[in-house]
Amino acid sequence: MYGPGYTPRRFLMCPPAHFRVTYSINPWMDPDKPVDLPLALAQWEELRDRYRSLGHTVEELEPLPGLPDMVYSANGAVVVDGRVLGARFAHRERTDEAAAHREWYRANGFTDVQEPEHINEGEGDFAVTDSWLLAGRGFRSSPLSHGEVQEFFGRPVIGLDLVDPRYYHLDTALCVLGGNEIMYYPPAFSPGSQAVLKRMFPDALIAAETDAEAFGLNSVSDGHHVFLPQAAVGLFDPLRERGYEPIPIDLTELLKGGGSVKCVTAELRPAV
């Protein structure tokens, strides 16, 4: 039905019922800028329904009052081969989200759920390719978490240094399209990490600044469709040229918290 790379996915999303911008823990968050909550909910529902209409399963995590960033469900865990390594948040404001995620996994049939020792913000800083886990550090996840993640999943972890506070999580600057194919924004990374990425992914799609600023790398790919912020127009044709189908998504309200499509979508990767 879709391209050869397509596989149906299972996602975990959390409705933005309590979404607010009441504090600022990244440069995109301005507590003085009002959030239109009904619009945030409508935009979020549209993304969820889009996933479902294209063959994906979307599970919902119950939002908790007092945890306005809980909508960014990608930060709550890393799930690979059906095994779950929970998160440990860098900021006190988000600390309590981690337990809610662990509880959800335990209540939903995941038997191997581990609370981590070191700070890691889940898929915010860990991206899964066929061969490696790519891991961000510098702003949120501790460099020590990289070793912990490698040991837990038994997959090679490639550490990457993030250097621009606007791109504070790996998933704001890099996206896995399928297999070992990625797109990324080089200036978000240190010179050494840029060289590593170039060596590992010589054919990567390189994003321009305007598309990175529009959160174009904060995207979700199912191997055929790439769900991405609609303002990242410069990525549409390069994606099509590679055989992907861009699915533009309007998530402007959730951008006010410093996140977009990928941040609100945790992927539950099954055991194979």
Rounded Cα distance, 175 and 185, in Å: 10
Q: Which of residues 116-135 bind ligand ARG (CB under 6 A)?
A: 124
224 is catalytic: no
The active-site residue, picked from 101, 146, 225, 263, is 263
Determine if 172 is a binding residue for ligand ARG (CB under 6 A): yes
CB 121 within 8 A of CB 87: yes
User: Closest approach of Cβ 169 to ligand ARG, in Å?
Assistant: 4
Sheet holding 83-86, edge to edge: 77-80, 83-86, 113-114
Rounded Cα distance, 69 and 168, in Å: 15
User: Closest approach of Cβ 69 to ligand ARG, in Å?
Assistant: 4
The 176-215 contact track toward ligand ARG, x by CB under 6 A, reads: ----------------------------------------
The span of 44-52, 107-115, 164-172, 197-205 binding ligand ARG (CB under 6 A) equals 164-172
Overall size of the chain counted in residues: 272
List 76, 116, 223, 257, residue binding ligand ARG (CB under 6 A): 257
Residue with smaller CB distance to ligand ARG, 6 or 122: 122
Determine if 26 is a binding residue for ligand ARG (CB under 6 A): yes
Determine if 44 is a binding residue for ligand ARG (CB under 6 A): no
The span of 7-15, 23-31, 153-161, 193-201 binding ligand ARG (CB under 6 A) equals 23-31
Query: By rule CB under 6 A, what count of residues binds ligand ARG?
Result: 16
Residue with smaller CB distance to ligand ARG, 67 or 113: 67
The span of 169-177, 178-186, 204-212, 235-243 binding ligand ARG (CB under 6 A) equals 169-177
Rounded Cα distance, 176 and 184, in Å: 9
The 64-103 contact track toward ligand ARG, x by CB under 6 A, reads: -----x--x-xx------------------x---------
- Number of C-alpha atoms within 13 angstroms, CB side, residue 245? 11
Rounded Cα distance, 47 and 6, in Å: 18
Q: Is 54 helix (H, G, I), strand (E, B) or coil?
A: coil
State the Cα angle at 258 between 253 and 264, rounded to 5°. 75
Both tokens of 231, joined, read 């303002």
Both tokens of 190, joined, read 């240190």
Measure the CA dihedral 90/109/265/118, to 10°. 20
263 is catalytic: yes
User: Closest approach of Cβ 247 to ligand ARG, in Å?
Assistant: 19
Secondary structure of 111-131 in HEC code, one letter for each residue: CCEECCCCCECHHHCEEECCC
The active-site residue, picked from 56, 101, 169, 224, is 169
Q: Closest Cα partner for 246 from 204, 266, 216, 206?
A: 216
Active site residues: 169, 263
Residues that bind ligand ARG (CB under 6 A): 25-26, 29, 69, 72, 74-75, 94, 124, 169, 171-172, 257-259, 263
